[in-house]
Structure 1
Amino acid sequence: MADDMGEDTPGTRAIAGIKALNLPPDTTITVFTEDLSILGPEVTKDDFEAQSGIKLDIQKSPFGEYASKILADAATQAGTFDVVLVETNRLGDLDNAGYLVDVTEWVEKYDPDIEDFIFPISHTASQYNGRYVGLPTDGDVFIFYYRKDLLEDPAEQAAFAEQYGRELTVPVTYDEYMEVLEFFTRPEENLYGATEWRITLLNYWWFWQRLWSGGGTYFHDDMSAAVNSPAGVQALEDMIAMEAVMSPDALSYGYVESVEAMTSGTAFSNITWPAAGKNANDPETSTTVGKWGYATVPGYVVDGQVNQRSMSAPGYTILVSNYADVNKEAAYLYTQWFTSPENLIKANQNLGGNTDVVRASIFADPSMAEIFPGADEYLDAQKANLAQAVPDPVLPGYGEYAQALEIELGNALTGQKSPQEALDDAAEAWDEITDSYGREEQLQVWQNFLASIAG
């Protein structure tokens, strides 16, 4: 991947732009995000400082705290951070707080090569309400991970065929998926068919993935909530049914616990982010290196066709704070430098990080296939899942919508409400949230978002 030979890249254009600004020699850009995504800026820090002459002050916070700190910086207009890597779904609330900078002029002037970013992340993570406000850093999308060594074992294949009357293959439909998970659920061997995020916080992403696969969506055309549709009820019922093929303490599992189930060999499968593939193949932490297969997330059959969908969330946008004291053009140029292929690839190749490939040129780089055994198949699966991605909705009040739904998903997962009751209550809460922000205003933002993902 070129940059050292003087070739023209978004990164070299950014450095040339910074030098043309003739900034004071003590210029420092403060960069902030959560403690896994920050590994990207950390592993590229020395290169940027050497090339630009600008210092970076890199700050971080745990995942559960960092967003609130960015929102507080926006609310107080303190300008604590110059550049932030933030979940893309926060753009609506940050825009309402006056935090976003319209960088369209600089995108056009310096050319970050937007078309090299994978669609629709190329649009959803860079634009808000029709203008450029940042650049994508992370190709977040769910991948179906499965124990390839077990699936391809002749003895397992024979036993499965005898029990289910069909070949043991990578499941394509959710019905096939449940059969395979049931088959590999063996508590006496400390092996369970699946591990997934289930602790109360982010279950809505796994729900939304199934909702869209079943033909559902977030909102009706009049902006009324659509999460309580038949597709939504089916999705939640099936999430509850998965408890039979998961560890008894599965409701306490977040990302770390589900990946530990992969690395310790207690789970046959997982549906989660690309970073898990790197984590599960890190020989310093995993006992299952080289044993994983990678595939597209299964789907429901809708109108006679399998509708496979994969959740693309949260994704990260690197952006400039409107309240920053530093030269904002220089801050933008840092974001373009960081997301340039020759720099972003260093974050993508870090097995301990969570920055996933988001540029087509990085997917095509031969060195990516060497980051761990089977990485070529892993990258192919990531690309395939991005091609069937369900977008995270980006609009004001995202956190309120998500929290209202999460509460009701928890009520259903713990048996306090039926799926229909829980989703009806969630839909009622969503309609109240929409009205609190202004139904017509929300509808306009939502229509602009839908237009961006339609290409």
Structure 2
Amino acid sequence: MRTRRMIHVVATAAAASSLLVACSGAGGSSGSGGGDGKSINVLMVGNPQMEDIAKLTKDTFTKDTGIKVNFTVLPENELRDKVTQDVATQAGQYDVATIGAYEVPIWEKNGWLHELSSYADKDASFDKADLLKPMVTSLSGSDGKLYALPFYGESSFLMYNKDVMEAKGIKVPERPTWQQIADIAAKVDGAEPGMRGICLRGLAGWGELGASLTTVVNTYGGTWFTKDWKAQVNSPEFKKAANFYVDLVRKHGEAGAAQAGFTECLNAMSQKKVAMWYDATSAAGSLEDPNSSKIAGRVGYAYAPTAETKSSGWLWSWAWAMPKTTKNADAASKFMLWASSKEYEKTVGEKLGWSRIPAGKRVSTYELPEYQKAAASFGDITLKSIEQADPANPGVQPRPTVGVQYVAIPEFQDLGTKVTQEISAAIAGKTSVDKALDDGQKLAEEVAKNYQ
């Protein structure tokens, strides 16, 4: 019954019909044969690293293997809905999809994913032992095998415009508190025409606003659930963190904040529309690319701001997964191994620039002289942020599941999205934070009943 309920919840969150959910099983075809092996369908999130691979594949991977790759690229929220619907309902439209540390353990238990360790072990050039341990741990199933291959890994940190800070005589601490960042945001708001103090995600979605907000909740002493599954969404600590976040973005945040996610903040920061940005460490490569960023070479980096905890950065990996429904497993595995390889990183470095390597997944990446030079300002802090992230103990109290910026249960996809929709509305001035969290508490209490 538990597995059936998990399938129902995940598929419902993706707006799959109840009929399809009822017809979906936990297994599916093995995907070990069938298909012509010469064409695969890949669904991926529309981040810069994915846009890069879409540009490079035809003249590299396809040229060498003869395997054509048909990419579907979607914004993060749309990607999450689409991939969940396809995999949960066994639709089988895609051979490969980008998912993350949240989905892997849940979907592996449901039998929706191919294990990938056997493919990685057979390919000596892939060098599985070179993968960073946090990435391997987060993408492994209950049997210890990999069920997704990391494309890039990330934590979160603060990025800031050094020119603006120097002009204002401000020194950003290497390990700032959130109150220090709020004070700085107020001082640099309007430092240049049209410039706001900080960019923080305001776009609803458990992986958009939910990710950044939850790290603030953690470090302010809050949590979604206690260890014994008592909902805490309207607790004093959660309310304090959420009110702080909403107040900061309303007073000194980017224009149109309620509709701004990772992509919008990346654009705002790179085009000098904001002076600071708290978000994924993986954004640094794009900010340091002079072809797309007006502040390349003039960006400063600091660890994720804190309040009551020593660190607060999240842990995530966008990774390649193979649904059990694929009929092109061999071709799909070749693509995934290549896309997560040292060879591919070298291709990106040589063709697009070394700062744009999809980093954060391999030890060897940080030993490359070319990357060390290109990532001199952010490489070390990125690696340390990933290593310091603690999914088991991200806050001040014991948790019922692992996860820094999410709760590792199927229901969180729906819960996190609904709660952040209300908080996003508060950012837009349409409701209050307290009302949003009081409504969210009721939803969280319903989820908690499944585990108490």
**TM-score bucket of the superposed structures, by smaller chain:** 0.7 to 0.9
Q: Match for residue 382 of structure 1?
A: 382
Superposition deviation, residue 26 in structure 1: 5.9
Change (3 A) 1:381 1:418: same
Equivalent in 284, 309, 312 of residue 309 of structure 1: 312
**1:396-411 to 2 correspondence within 5 Å?**
396-411=410-425
Change (3 A) 1:169 1:335: closer
Superposition deviation, residue 208 in structure 1: 0.7
- Matched letter for residue 246 of structure 1: G
**1:256-295 to 2 correspondence within 5 Å?**
256-295=263-302
**1:145-184 to 2 correspondence within 5 Å?**
145-153=159-167, 156-157=168-169, 169=173, 172-184=176-188
* C-alpha distance in structure 2 between counterparts of 1:188 and 1:265, whole Å: 9
For residue 87 of structure 2, give the secondary structure of its aligned residue in structure 1. helix
8 A Cα contact 1:41 1:338, kept in partner = no
Q: Match for residue 341 of structure 2?
A: 340
* C-alpha distance in structure 1 between counterparts of 2:432 and 2:143, whole Å: 37
8 A Cα contact 2:157 2:305, kept in partner = no
* C-alpha distance in structure 2 between counterparts of 1:113 and 1:188, whole Å: 48
Superposition deviation, residue 387 in structure 1: 2.8
Deviates more, 1:359-368 or 1:344-353: 344-353
Q: Match for residue 58 of structure 1?
A: 70
**1:210-229 to 2 correspondence within 5 Å?**
210-229=216-235
Q: Match for residue 323 of structure 2?
A: 321
* C-alpha distance in structure 1 between counterparts of 2:198 and 2:51, whole Å: 30
- Matched letter for residue 365 of structure 1: L
Q: Match for residue 243 of structure 2?
A: 237
8 A Cα contact 2:105 2:141, kept in partner = no
Equivalent in 423, 429, 436 of residue 422 of structure 1: 436
* C-alpha distance in structure 2 between counterparts of 1:363 and 1:204, whole Å: 30
Change (3 A) 1:334 1:259: closer
Q: Match for residue 439 of structure 1?
A: 451
Cα deviation code 1:418-450 (max 9, x no counterpart)? 544433432331232354xx427xxxxxxxxxx
Superposition deviation, residue 94 in structure 1: 4.1
Equivalent in 110, 113, 119 of residue 100 of structure 1: 113
Q: Match for residue 125 of structure 1?
A: 139
8 A Cα contact 2:199 2:254, kept in partner = yes
Structure 1 unpaired stretches of 5+: 1-20, 161-166, 441-455
* C-alpha distance in structure 2 between counterparts of 1:365 and 1:225, whole Å: 46
Deviates more, 1:131-140 or 1:416-425: 416-425
Cα deviation code 1:286-326 (max 9, x no counterpart)? 322222111211110x3xxx52211234x312111211112
For residue 293 of structure 2, give the secondary structure of its aligned residue in structure 1. coil
For residue 323 of structure 1, give the secondary structure of its aligned residue in structure 2. coil
- Matched letter for residue 230 of structure 1: P
Change (3 A) 1:230 1:61: same
For residue 304 of structure 2, give the secondary structure of its aligned residue in structure 1. coil
Q: Match for residue 25 of structure 2?
A: none
Superposition deviation, residue 73 in structure 1: 2.6
Deviates more, 1:138-147 or 1:253-262: 253-262
Cα deviation code 1:336-373 (max 9, x no counterpart)? 332122224545784697944321211221111344xx
8 A Cα contact 1:26 1:54, kept in partner = no
* C-alpha distance in structure 2 between counterparts of 1:73 and 1:168, whole Å: 45
Q: TM-score of the superposition, structure 1-length normalised?
A: 0.76
8 A Cα contact 2:198 2:276, kept in partner = yes
- Matched letter for residue 360 of structure 1: V
Q: Match for residue 209 of structure 1?
A: 215
Superposition deviation, residue 75 in structure 1: 4.3
* C-alpha distance in structure 1 between counterparts of 2:163 and 2:187, whole Å: 15
* C-alpha distance in structure 2 between counterparts of 1:429 and 1:98, whole Å: 28
Cα deviation code 1:242-298 (max 9, x no counterpart)? 122224543332333322322232311111223432333333333222221112111
Say if 2:96 is the partner of 1:83.
Answer: yes
8 A Cα contact 1:311 1:392, kept in partner = no
* C-alpha distance in structure 2 between counterparts of 1:24 and 1:211, whole Å: 47
* C-alpha distance in structure 2 between counterparts of 1:377 and 1:286, whole Å: 15
Q: Aligned residue pairs: how many? A: 398
Q: TM-score of the superposition, structure 2-length normalised?
A: 0.76
Say if 2:37 is the partner of 1:32.
Answer: no
- Matched letter for residue 367 of structure 1: E
Deviates more, 1:411-420 or 1:315-324: 411-420
Superposition deviation, residue 416 in structure 1: 5.3
For residue 342 of structure 1, give the secondary structure of its aligned residue in structure 2. helix
Equivalent in 130, 134, 151 of residue 148 of structure 2: 134
8 A Cα contact 1:133 1:319, kept in partner = yes
For residue 195 of structure 1, give the secondary structure of its aligned residue in structure 2. coil
* C-alpha distance in structure 1 between counterparts of 2:253 and 2:288, whole Å: 22
* C-alpha distance in structure 2 between counterparts of 1:70 and 1:247, whole Å: 30
CA RMSD of superposed structures (Å): 3.4
For residue 152 of structure 1, give the secondary structure of its aligned residue in structure 2. helix
8 A Cα contact 1:296 1:384, kept in partner = no
Say if 2:332 is the partner of 1:331.
Answer: yes
- Higher radius of gyration, 1 or 2: 1
Superposition deviation, residue 43 in structure 1: 2.0
Change (3 A) 1:235 1:316: same
Cα deviation code 1:171-214 (max 9, x no counterpart)? 61112212211111127842322122213332111111112222
Change (3 A) 1:44 1:198: same
Superposition deviation, residue 144 in structure 1: 0.7
Cα deviation code 1:17-59 (max 9, x no counterpart)? xxxx9999864333332343253264245433455x3513232
Change (3 A) 1:168 1:221: closer
Superposition deviation, residue 406 in structure 1: 1.0
- Matched letter for residue 236 of structure 1: A
Change (3 A) 1:88 1:56: farther
Change (3 A) 1:249 1:94: same
Change (3 A) 1:387 1:280: same
Identity level (%): 21
Change (3 A) 1:26 1:184: closer
